[in-house]
Chains A and B, each alone.
Chain A
Amino acid sequence: MTKTTLAATLKEAGILLEKREYSNAETLYRKAMQLQPGNAAAAMGIAMIYNRAGHPEEALKILQKVWKAISGSKTKKNIASKAAVLAQIGLAQQQTGRMIEALQSFREANALKPSAELSKLIQNLESAVENPHTIVQLVAKANQLQQGGKLDEATKLYHTALQLNPDHPEALHGLGLVLRAQKDLDGALPLIQQAIILAPDRPDYYNDLGILFQERGELEKAISFHKRALKVKADFTPAYINLGVAYKRIGKLDEAITAYRKAIQLQPNSPAAHNNLGNLLRIQGDLKGARKELKQAIKLHPSYQDAIENLATVEQELKQITKTTTKTRKPRTSKTAKVDSL
């Protein structure tokens, strides 16, 4: 191997790279790597190809090694190389949605060797990243779309928000809820978990993770998370309602009733709490108590279909009882029970 061969190979590869003949350029860069394993220029060339070809993760792996190899050097000759590596790292980070890190890399590259191109990249990123309204607006809009059932559109906006800040709890939570609604429970789980890690004071996040666990059939875990919501905010009514549902599903009916009553105590105008309590009282054989609660649910929310159906069932059972001569009343099974509200 001679230095001339290596230099010529690198030069030719560079020309091909500029001509966007990526496949041929990569072949030559790999040949250069064979001639001199660990050659930084060849590694850099391959990373640039990966960056341009839409494989930023692969590019980043290589660039981090190159950076490790050259970052310690303080010679002037290496300043341009360092700036180039940092710029490529920035590009890879930008493509993987790590905008803040990308901005930092571009700034460092520009500090080493200023260029108009880098300045423009920095300016564009700054305007998006450092404007807090960008994410807030994106998340608010995504929320709206989600509420309206436009889940795919909401997903796109949440992804955009997460590109600006992958650690934005509201975007993570929102995207998690969308995936949960789309029954992608495995996809939703880590998003809501991450949102909780980032914002551990949000009771609704814990409660939503509890609901997710209910949907996964992991009821003990669901109970744990509804309780964690209440640890954060003792008067968070939805958590009591969901706690009641989870208790009911594992057959702990007394605990479920206690949870629903607590929800009603905190929020007497909650139709869901009255409906769920009424439904449970019916199962326990307290038909009059059930009727009272279900009527209250309908009074609060006249078009509440679940409550209306539950009340109809109760009324029917009450009629049957008055017809029969049986004096002992057995607890009802849940075979005709209607839905509880989460």
Chain B
Amino acid sequence: MEILFIHPNFPGQFRRFAAALAREPGMRVYGAGDAGWMADTVPLPNIPVIAYPTPEEVSKNTHPYARSFDGAVKRGQQIVQTLLNHKRQGLEPDVIIAHPGWGDAFYLRDIFPGATIIGLFEYYYRVRGADVGFDPEFPMNFDDIFRVRSLNATQLLALESCDIGYCPTDWQRNCFPPHYRQQLHVIHDGIDTHTAAPDANAAIMLPDGSTHRAGEEILTFVSRNLEPYRGFHNFMRALPLILEARPDCQVIIVGSDGVSYGKQPPAGQTYRQRYLNEIADRIDPSRLHFTGHLPYPDYLKVLQVSRAHVYLTYPFILSWSMLEAMSAGCLLIASATASVQEVITDGKNGLLFPFHEPTALANRAIEALSEPDRYLAIREAARQTIISSYDFETICYPAFIQLINQNNP
């Protein structure tokens, strides 16, 4: 069977699935992505990659509500042009698995008639009841209602362009309109529970030269970017109380200064600096260790030395890091938002607090840091949750294979 994965940043979320499929006998796996986006990605062995030129930028004359769709159409057209060249040489995948969020999948059905098109559907924007307008500190404006609704044009055309789809979580699936849900399965990308596992002897030397070991009083926070969508502001606001109550506690904060989701800070500013400034006179900055982006093995070490790990998010796509932290046996102190509550039950496999209440976060963190033995069962339950529901090898990959086979008899 010939399978083509398409993601502008290939392999993106398909890294594990693509790599595993490429190891299957009789399976030929290809990838396709945007040459510009993929410039820094680590290639997967035995998977040839087709790079398409970055599409031209969206015109400034395009209506603001339609810009995202305009960009998606350009991308869809670009990938058609590139893939047609390969098709003429014999590329005829049986199955195409695409992330259609940027328009890549729009016209695949047209140029590969008869191939099965499977889409990874991550998110359907909602004007109310999800991320938009969730945080009163960053209120939506009147124009957002229409802009956000229009953003879904890309997803809607993508839903029509794919034969079947899957979402990583139930919550994400339920964001989509009811009449589309029947074509959407729930399959998580999967966690490597062998790699993301507890290690009582773990130690990590951070870029600032400090060394930290499992068993020490370490509070951790991880986010690709330190930004409000992932509750960075509320986490920072909890720190003065925590550090005052726990004088030996060290805080490791992993993440970059960019913005993945939501509004950008004013030019020249970062959210990290903004919220650090806000608490600067109430903390000892030497107890905060900002690492920036870490290589994957170092990031795992951070999780392994953690006594308590904080995760916050708007009602939005759940981060892999939360699940990997649970897999590593961390004690999760997480915001009680819908996407988190699909995985964590308060007091069973983690501790929850209201997203908007830094004091509640501080209180839970102080408890967790002061009495680590009391939470051992919760840490173990967290890992079991991931093993039983999100393990790549035994849960997610078999489900993914089944999805492919069921739709490509």
A residues sitting closer than 8 Å to B (CB atoms) are: 189-190, 193, 196-197, 200, 206, 213, 216, 218, 220-221, 224-225, 228, 231-232
Contact = CB atoms under 8 A, between A and B. Distances in A.
A232 B90 CA distance: 21
B1 A206 contact: no
Contact of B87 (A193, A206, A225): A193
B111 A197 contact: yes
A225 B93 CA distance: 10
B113 A196 contact: yes
B110 A206 contact: no
A218 B114 contact: no
Contact of B110 (A197, A224, A231): A197
Given A220-B1, A220-B2, A225 B114 contact: yes
Interface of B: 1-2, 26, 87-88, 90, 92, 94, 110-111, 113-114
B113 A221 contact: no
B88 A190 contact: yes
B113 A225 contact: no
A189 B88 contact: yes
B173 to A, nearest CB: 27
A187 to B, nearest CB: 10
A221 B92 contact: yes
A228 B113 contact: yes
Contacts of B113: 196-197, 200, 206, 228
A228 B114 CA distance: 6
Given A220-B2, A221-B2, A224-B94, A200 B88 contact: no
Nearest to A201: B113
Contacts of A221: 2, 90, 92
A221 B95 CA distance: 12
9 contacts: A189-B88, A189-B90, A196-B113, A206-B113, A206-B114, A213-B92, A216-B90, A218-B90, A220-B2
Q: Is the interface of A mostly helix, strand, loop or mixed?
A: helix
A193 B88 contact: yes
B28 to A, nearest CB: 8
Contacts of B94: 224
A277 to B, nearest CB: 23
A193 B110 CA distance: 11
Contact of A200 (B2, B90, B92, B114): B114
A257 to B, nearest CB: 18
A163 to B, nearest CB: 20
Contacts of A232: 114
A224 B92 contact: yes
Given A221-B92, A224-B114, 8 more contacts: A190-B88, A193-B88, A196-B113, A213-B92, A220-B26, A221-B2, A225-B114, A228-B114
A126 to B, nearest CB: 30
Interface centre among A206, A218, A224, A225 (most CB of B within 10 A): A224
Contacts of B26: 220
Nearest to A200: B113
Contacts of A193: 87-88, 92
A119 B52 CA distance: 43
Contacts of B111: 197
A206 to B, nearest CB: 6
B260 to A, nearest CB: 37
A224 B87 CA distance: 15
B1 A231 contact: no
A139 B113 CA distance: 24
A41 B273 CA distance: 59
Closest 10 CB pairs between A and B? Answer: A228-B114, A200-B113, A190-B88, A224-B94, A196-B113, A221-B92, A197-B111, A193-B87, A231-B114, A206-B114
A242 B111 CA distance: 24
Contacts of B88: 189-190, 193
B110 A225 contact: no
Contacts of B90: 189, 216, 218, 221
A236 to B, nearest CB: 13
Contacts of B110: 197
A239 to B, nearest CB: 12
A190 B85 CA distance: 9
B103 to A, nearest CB: 19
A232 B110 CA distance: 15
A224 B94 CA distance: 7
Contacts of A216: 90
A220 B94 CA distance: 10
A216 B92 CA distance: 13
A219 B261 CA distance: 46
A200 B108 CA distance: 13
A251 to B, nearest CB: 13
A324 to B, nearest CB: 39
Nearest to A202: B113
A221 B91 CA distance: 9
Interface centre among B2, B87, B90, B113 (most CB of A within 10 A): B113
A213 B113 CA distance: 16
Interface centre among A193, A197, A220, A232 (most CB of B within 10 A): A193
Contacts of A218: 90
A175 to B, nearest CB: 15
A248 B211 CA distance: 64
B11 to A, nearest CB: 23
Contacts of B87: 190, 193
A232 B113 CA distance: 10
Nearest to B87: A193
Contacts of A197: 110-111, 113
A226 B110 CA distance: 18
Nearest to B112: A197
Nearest to B94: A224
A206 B114 CA distance: 9
A123 B87 CA distance: 38
Contacts of A196: 113-114
Nearest to B85: A190
A209 B111 CA distance: 14
A82 B1 CA distance: 53
Contacts of A213: 92
A193 B89 CA distance: 11
A325 B2 CA distance: 49
A317 B92 CA distance: 42
B45 to A, nearest CB: 22
Nearest to A232: B114
Contacts of A225: 92, 114
